[in-house]
Amino acid sequence: MLVAGHGVEGDGHAGTTVQHRSRVARDPTQPNLRQVHLMAGELHDELNGAGFNVAPGDLGENITTRGLDLIGLSTGTRLHLGQNCIIEVTGLRNPCIQLDHFRPGLMAACLGRGADGQLIRKAGIMGIVERGGEVRPGDSITVQAPAIFRALDRV
């Protein structure tokens, strides 16, 4: 269940202000741009092919997608999920060392390098809940791109 302006009902990262420990320590009044974590199912396939044995939800993601280039989206993209829900994309998830506590080497496996040598963060994207409601397995996702493309950065 997505709650507008809050996040995923019952999730540890839900809230109107930051919930991530390091961000709370810096400034607990910052807006929470990390209410919902979306990850591509194709990353699970890649990680499982490398022997990591992960399933949807294992890496902290709230929503797993298929057939959608999440990290290629623009900041400000609106994702319409199912009948009612809208998530506004705020940025990239920066994989952290906690992934290695789940499976050693997993953090490095969630990072890559482009042809130009630039770091690629593959651990999904973050967003805020603009319109809440129930999200179910198999729900469609419609992408509404903003007028101007702005490459995602970590949030």
Domains of the chain from N-terminus onward: 2-144 (2.40.33.20)
| Chain centroid offset of residue 130 CA | 15
- Of 32, 30, 45, give the one whose Cα is nearest residue 3: 32
What is the pTM for the complete model shown?
0.94
Look over the chain and give the mean of its residue pLDDT values, rounded to a whole number: 94
Q: What is the pLDDT of residues 30-85, one digit of tens each?
A: 999 999 999 999 999 999 999 999 999 999 999 999 999 999 999 999 999 999 99
pLDDT at 146: 98
Nearest to 88 by CA among 34, 9, 10, 29: 34
DSSP-derived letter for residue 118 is -
CA distance 7 to 138: 20
The whole-number pLDDT of residue 145 equals 98
